Amino acid sequence: MIRLQLVPHDGLGPLKLGASRQALRAAAAALGLASGATHAESDAFAEESVQVDYDAAGRVRFIGVAPLPEVHRVTLAGLDCADTPAADLFRAVAAADGGSDPGFDPEGHLFPRQIVALWAADEQYDLIAPGGRRRSIWGQVGIGTPAYRDLVEKTRARDT
């Protein structure tokens, strides 16, 4: 099992925001993350559980991770993303982001200062379920660049 730390404004272990597509793929291969689907602006690794999006220049603008504890364990704010209830991880990230309390929303939230995205909290993502009791876990936890934040904000503004 691979253990990685998701660090805002930096990356997921050796997978770095701002890296070229070639450098990101090499780093993923060195970790043993099997490559998956590739598209014009994205790559997936480790059974599609690691998603990487690229900007028009081919640089990493977003790294998102879905829980897959038998392959990788990812921490954010010192908490295991696959083993921390969504509301608890939300509170930890919100405290680190500062500013006003955005209020927990299981659909997701993008913390603008850290550019940390928490998407789709649901019990189906609790693949560990201690004692068989499923908890609401984030379906994807990710980090992005300022360009990613701007893209999300623009999309939200258009959709409202």
How far from 31 is each of 23, 75, 93, CA to CA, in Å? 12, 16, 26
- How much of the chain, in percent, has pLDDT values that exceed 90? 87
52 closest CA partner among 26, 80, 88? 26
With a cut of 70, say whether residue 84 has pLDDT above it.
yes
Taking only the tens place, the pLDDT of each residue in 96-108 is 998 777 899 999 9
Taking only the tens place, the pLDDT of each residue in 24-81 is 999 999 999 999 999 999 999 999 999 999 999 999 999 999 999 999 999 999 999 9
Taking only the tens place, the pLDDT of each residue in 71-83 is 999 999 999 999 9
Write the secondary structure of 79-133 as one string of H (helix), E (strand) and C (coil).
EECCCCCHHHHHHHHHHHHCCCCCCCCCCEEEECCCCEEEEEEEHHHCCCCHHHC
Q: Write down the pLDDT at residue 98.
A: 85
Give the type of residue at 57.
Answer: A
